[in-house]
Amino acid sequence: MELIGRIFALAITAIFVQNFVLSRFLGLCPYIGVSKKLDSALGMGMAVIFVMTMASTFTWLIQSYLLIPLKLEFLQTIAFILTIASLVQLVEMVIQKTAPALYKALGVFLPLITTNCAVLGVAILNINQELNFIGAILNGLFAGLGFTLVLVLMAGIRERLDKAELPASMKGIPIAMIVAGCMALAFLGFSGLNI
């Protein structure tokens, strides 16, 4: 029972209270770059959820069974980024072979994910927060969900912004930033939650 409570708390924290994009400032490049259309935002979100969960799993195993026993913690950054890069490549190849339909939907986003700092960010945060194996996997999943949620919300707003009459100088990224600021303001309200 306690486990379920903790999982719920972890989910609320990762998705709302300390949302990866709006409160931790991770993954902003895709957040601004891929939020122009709703369906591409959804595709990107799904790909990120998938890679974040996988990356959390593998980086946690590498840290616990390779880096710590061998006292090589200083290689963390190199090891993690290489893991993520190869993972993304592997996922791309597997999906291409086994699920062409899925590949068609996610394919273009996968190469972009290697340099999405949210993925490396969640891998390092899992270690910093001393989560165990289950905790790390779940945290990766929830962080991905939180990212997708705000990405899709943003895309919905930006599709409408296209039709709004804006001063020319604010079009594009500037107004997206302002919208993101308003969303962050709303999400700041969650920080009062006591979990």
Partner 1 sequence: MKLMNVFSKGLVKENPVFVMALGLCPTLAVTTSVKNALGMGFAATFVLVFSNIFISLIKNFIPTKIRIPSYIVIIASFVTIVDLTMNAFLPEIHKSLGLFIPLIVVNCMILGRAEAFASKNNTITSIMDGFGMGLGFTLALVVISGIRELVGAGQFFGIDIMSAGYKPVLVAILAPGAFLVMGLLMGLLNLKKEK
Partner 2 sequence: MKYYFKLGVILLLITAVASGVLAVVNNYTKPLIAQNKQKTEEEARRMVLPKAETFETDSIEIQEAKVKPDPLMIQKESDKSSYFKYYIGKDEAGEVTGYTFVARKYGYSSNIETMVGVKPDLKINKIKVINQAETPGLGANCENEDFTKNFIGRTIPKLLVDKDGGDIESLTGATITSRAIINSIKDGLQNLKQALSSSDNNEEDKE
140 near partner 1 (CB under 8 A): no
Q: Which is nearer to partner 2, 78 or 178 (CB)?
A: 78
Report the residue number, 35 or 53, with the smaller CB distance to partner 2.
Answer: 53
Residues in 82-121 at the binding interface with partner 1, rule: CB under 8 A? 82, 85, 114-117, 119-121
C-beta of 7 vs 102, nearer to partner 2: 7
User: Hunting for tokens 């979990």 — which residue is that?
Assistant: 195
Q: How far is the CB of 154 from partner 2 (least distance, A)?
A: 23
Q: How far is the CB of 124 from partner 2 (least distance, A)?
A: 13
Tell me the number of residues near partner 1 by CB under 8 A: 44
Any contact of residue 64 with partner 1 (CB under 8 A)? no
Q: Choose the one of partner 1, partner 2, none that binds residue 3, judging by a C-beta under 5 to 8 angstroms depending on kind.
A: partner 2
Q: Is 88 helix (H, G, I), strand (E, B) or coil?
A: helix
Farthest CA pair distance, the chain: 60
For 179-187, the CB contacts below 8 A with 24+ separation are 179/154, 180/21, 180/22, 180/31, 180/32, 180/154, 183/22, 183/150, 183/153, 183/154, 184/22, 184/23, 187/16, 187/19, 187/22, 187/23, 187/150
Report if residue 72 touches partner 1, rule: CB under 8 A.
Answer: no
Q: Name the binder of 36 from partner 2, partner 1, none, CB < 5-8 A by kind.
A: none
Of residues 7 and 175, the one with the C-beta less far from partner 2: 7
How far apart CA 142 and CA 149 sit, in angstroms, is 10
Cα-trace Rg, the chain: 18
